[in-house]
Structure 1
Amino acid sequence: MKHLSKFLMAAALVFGFTSVNAQDSNNPWAIGIGANAIDFYPTGEDAPLGGFGDEYFNAAEHWNTLPAVSRLTVGRYIGSGFVFELAGSINQIDKYGDARVPDISHYALDGSFNYSLRAMLNEGWFDPVVGIGGGYTWFSDQGNSAITDLSAPTLNGKLGLNFWFTDQFALTVESNYKHVFQEDMTTHFQHVAGVKFIFGGKDTDGDGIYDKDDECPESPGLPEFNGCPDSDGDGIEDRKDACPNKAGLAEFDGCPDTDGDGVADPEDDCPEVAGLAEMNGCPDADGDGVRDDEDNCPDEAGPEDNNGCPWEDKDNDGVLDKDDDCPDVAGTAANNGCPEPTAEVVSELNEYSNTVLFDLNKATIRTESEEALNSIAEIMEEYPNTVFHIEGHTDSTGSDQYNLKLSKERAASVREYLVNAGIPSNRLTSEGYGEERPIATNSTAAGRQENRRVEISLDKDKEMKDKSEDDQ
């Protein structure tokens, strides 16, 4: 009974020393119960003891055991794989190596810092442990006057194995070498076998998943998401869900597609109406490339620069108003929708131009020719987009160089008159060709008279050049 009371006192000391107010999030506490065996033989002492390590597993002849629970431990995880453990044990000694001794009571209280190698083995069920620490051991036999009570501190080294059957239950075996710092006491081994339970895990969010395993410890979650929530219940955890409060589809990162057009609602400008991806989820009923909510004519195809409506052709000349420089007057495509002089009009111009007279061997226009030139200007004004070309020609009388110079000057005089009459200068070009382009023989006076002339034609090259520059 007195031995039991001493054991209970040792156990009370163990629990008393490990009564810590705070707990951490990693199931820090462990309680172990088991049996222990004391072996003096393989300690390297003199006979009746053997050399160090001799007959280490000779339990039948050397081990002292009790057929009951004889050891209690309490451990506290302190971080980085280290556990501090307190152990209290009792035993009955009747084997001192090869010798037999009267029953001697053994009591021990030990503390150790243990390091788990489990993390190095991928957190599996196999958990090797090494430890170092110290303790205090008592031997007592009050029934034998030859033996007095002995006690001494010890320096302890530990090797052990934990076999984890669940996250919180393990079978444990270990061997402790206890070096005694007193001459009249013997260094010995203490072997242990038992079970260990861990507890005390923290569950901050109360979702049933300990913080150590909870990837979202501040928010209640689900086991399948390692403790993280799925607020909208769409099977996509909130931290990976672009729309955590609205059920959606995995293909859209958890966002819905209300109109089923393949565009997720957050990216769909028209989430209630099925549309096209290239239109940000909005429809284009007439297929003109302008989405309906921006199309003034959603049921009639038209270009974007006319707000989705087709272009008009008010003058019905085949040139759309957008390209028609004269949208209210029918014209030709070649003249950007504006009317252009017909052959009859050009012929009429030349009837007038053939009556234009100049002073002899000069470029000065005679006064009687002004009426014809004014008539030419009036006709030209009717075709505001047409560029006219004024040509000067001579007969073969005189030198080529002189005739070319004179023809240029006369064509330029006509152009200058028409500009002064109100025709824009950019619609008139002039050139002299001398005697290069006769229309009659130069052998007769009548033929030479015909060759001395001013002609007017349409400058198509200039028109095309101007249109190209305008387009640019």
Structure 2
Amino acid sequence: MIKSTSILFMFFAVFFGANTVLAQDANNPWYISVGVNAVDTYPVDEDNRPLTGGFLNEMYNVDDHWNILPSISTLYVGRYIGSGFAFGVRGSLNKIEKLGDTDANDLAYYGLDGTFTYSFRDALFGEGGWFDPYLGVGGGYVFVGDLSSHGTANGTVGLKLWLGESISLDLSTTYKHAFEDRYTKHMQHTAGIGFAFGGVDTDGDGIFDKNDECPDVPGLKEFNGCPDTDGDGIKDSEDACPEVAGLPEFNGCPDSDGDGIADPQDKCPDVAGLPALNGCPDADGDGVTDAEDKCPNEAGPAANDGCPYQDKDNDGVLDKDDECPTVPGTVANNGCPEVTVEVLEEINVQVRTVLFDLNKATIRKESFETLDNVSGTMMEYPNTRFLIEGHTDSQGSDAYNLKLSDERAASVKNYLIEKGLPASRLSSEGFGETKPVANNATAAGRQQNRRVEISLIK
């Protein structure tokens, strides 16, 4: 019997060992195990009745309590479900010679069990590995001679030791619980050789999915099942240009213009260029590609589209920095002309003659021409800001004079704005009688103090 058992084990090892996947998993879902089983009733009686042990007592006392049929006596077939879970069915037969410490009359034993198992191998040790502990729960049905036949609830602890790519030593202990005392509660131990098989080749390229790095796309053996569509010797998953044959130094992409820049990174793939400009040429060397350079043969900054900056008014300030590009000015005034002392005095000579209605801020019509001339002069200095000052003589109260001077200065400012001067360049303020330029004790002095003046705002 032992000899026939060895031959059968060898047969299964050769037949299923031809499979080249490791363990039972999604790519190798089927598992079959054949071996021997031992039935023991001794360590399952919680009440410690005579001739029996307490729960788990002497569970591995083989000589005194185990019932073993010396031949292949158990067969397990299971299928992987996913995430470490599998379901299997085990059939077993045995001959019961001992019920605990009590002799039995060679009772026939048959069992059929269904079990859900969970493998801790990947969770504990990472994917794969030879050490594969598992737990199982399920139920079954047993026949023990003429004594009983009944269902059981089962709990299993097991260990698979993977001896090769598809063969394992499978050891397990199962507690089979009968819910009525008249039925036989017992332990069943199994030892067997297991074989994983059923590997799939989804893409039909002759390489099992477990070993196929591209299981959904037919590929080449030298690339572990991955394709090389363009035939350049670089598999598609590592080929930056899988549809066009290229060079290894460019990750499988071509360099059409031979400038050392792969076509996908070359903005000018058909014309040799410079790496700094992503493969585009720059004839004048100004850092602007010829395609974007409005002056490709004359160096100029990128900010000016590759053309040199101009100075249209020839004042020494480039147009890009010149706030008055069409009017000659000074560098200190950003290319705009500066108001000289003489020009400012000329403006004030005119504006001091501006007349208002008595005790009002209304400008008299005869002063319009004067203010028009002042406006024209101020227009010539486009980035200069002016303060329009209003002043009075000492007649009247301080508060009245301050209010009147402020309103008259504002009237002049508004008139100049209407003539086209930007409001942002003009401010006005009244000073009342606080800044006299002549003696208020005389009529001539008071006349000089009643005035409008213009100063510069720095």
**1:113 aligned to 2:111?**
no
Aligned to 1:125: 130
* 1:72-111 deviations in Å (ceiling 9; x for gaps): 0111222332211111001112122233332221111111
Task: Measure how far apart 1:137 and its partner are.
Answer: 0.8
CA distance in 1, matches of 2:203, 2:191: 37
Matches within 5 A, 1:140-289: 140=145, 148=146, 150-211=148-209, 214=212, 216-221=214-219, 227-234=225-232, 236-249=234-247, 252-268=250-266, 270-271=268-269, 274-283=272-281
- How does 1:413-428 map onto structure 2 within 5 Å? none
For the Cα contact (< 8 Å) 1:207–1:221, is it kept in 2?
yes
**What's the offset of the Cα at 1:194?**
0.8
Q: Please list the CA deviations of residues 235-290 of structure 1 after superposition, one character each: whole Å capped at 9, or x if unmatched.
A: 65424533112233566443222444221113335546543124442455775767
Contact 1:169 1:196 in 2 (8 A): yes
Offset from partner CA, 1:32-88 (integer Å, 9 cap, x none): 111111112212252322122222221122211122111001112223322111110
SS in 2 for 1:120: helix
Change (3 A) 1:270 1:176: same
- Give the 3-state SS of the residue equivalent to 1:158 in structure 2: strand
Distance 1:152 1:221, change over 3 A: same
Contact 1:73-1:88 within 8 A present in 2 as well: yes
The unaligned stretches of length 5 or more in structure 1 are: 1-23, 141-147, 306-310, 312-319, 326-332, 336-425, 427-472
- Evaluate the alpha carbon distance shift between residue 226 and residue 293 of structure 1 in structure 2; reply closer, same or farther with a 3 A threshold: same
2:39 is aligned with 1:38? yes
The 1:265/1:187 distance shift into structure 2, 3 A limit, reads same
Residues 99 and 302 (structure 1 numbering): CA distance in 2 closer, same or farther, change over 3 Å? same
Q: 1:43 to 1:285 in 2, by over 3 A?
A: same
1:86 alignment counterpart? 89
Residue of structure 1 in register with 2:428 after alignment: none
Alignment of 1:45-56 (within 5 A): 45-56=48-59
C-alpha separation in 1, matches of 2:250 and 2:239: 9
Whether contact under 8 Å (1:228, 1:237) holds in the other structure is: yes
Equivalences for 1:349-368 in 2 at 5 Å? none
Question: Which residue number corresponds to residue 138 of structure 1?
Answer: 143
Match of 1:68 in 2: 71
Q: 1: CA distance between counterparts of 2:68 and 2:258?
A: 76
Query: In 2, Cα distance between the equivalents of 1:158 and 1:223?
Result: 42
1:190 Cα deviation after fit: 0.5
Q: Equivalents in 2 of 1:324, 1:119: separation in Å?
A: 78
Structure 2 distance, partners of 1:323, 1:176, is 98
Determine if contact 1:63/1:95 at 8 Å carries over to the other structure.
yes
How many Å separate the matches in 2 of 1:323 and 1:199?
A: 85
Q: After the TM superposition, which of the residue ranges 216-225 and 152-161 deviates more from structure 2? A: 216-225
Structure-2 separation of matches of 1:41 and 1:222 = 59
Instruction: Give the partner amino acid of 1:77.
Output: Y
Could you report, residue by residue, the CA deviation over 1:121-166 in whole angstroms, capped at 9, with x for unpaired residues?
A: 21232211111111111122xxxxxxx3531111111000112234
Which range is displaced more, 150-159 or 181-190? 181-190
Structure 1's 234 and 63: CA in aligned 2 closer, same or farther, altered over 3 A?
Answer: farther
Aligned mates of 1:291, 1:150 — CA distance in 2: 94
Larger Rg: 1
Shift of 1:191: 0.3
- Structure-2 separation of matches of 1:294 and 1:150: 95
| Corresponding letter in the other structure for 1:125 | W
Deviations 1:391-432 (A, max 9, x none): xxxxxxxxxxxxxxxxxxxxxxxxxxxxxxxxxxx9xxxxxx
Where does the alignment leave 5 or more consecutive residues of structure 2 unmatched?
1-24, 302-306, 317-379, 381-458
TM-score computed with the length of structure 2 as normaliser: 0.53
Partners of 2:285 and 2:264 in 1: CA distance: 24
Percent identical among aligned pairs is: 56
Whether the aligned pair in 2 keeps the contact of 1:27 and 1:198 (CA below 8 Å) is: yes
Task: Give deviations 1:352-400, integer Å, cap 9, x for gaps.
Answer: xxxxxxxxxxxxxxxxxxxxxxxxxxxxxxxxxxxxxxxxxxxxxxxxx
Count, aligned residues:
293
- Residue 403 of structure 2 corresponds to none
Q: Secondary structure at the match of 1:91?
A: strand
Check conservation: 2:255, 2:269, Cα contact below 8 A.
yes
What RMSD, in angstroms, separates the aligned Cα atoms of the two structures? Answer: 4.3
Compared CA separation, residues 165 and 231, structure 1 to 2 (3 A): farther
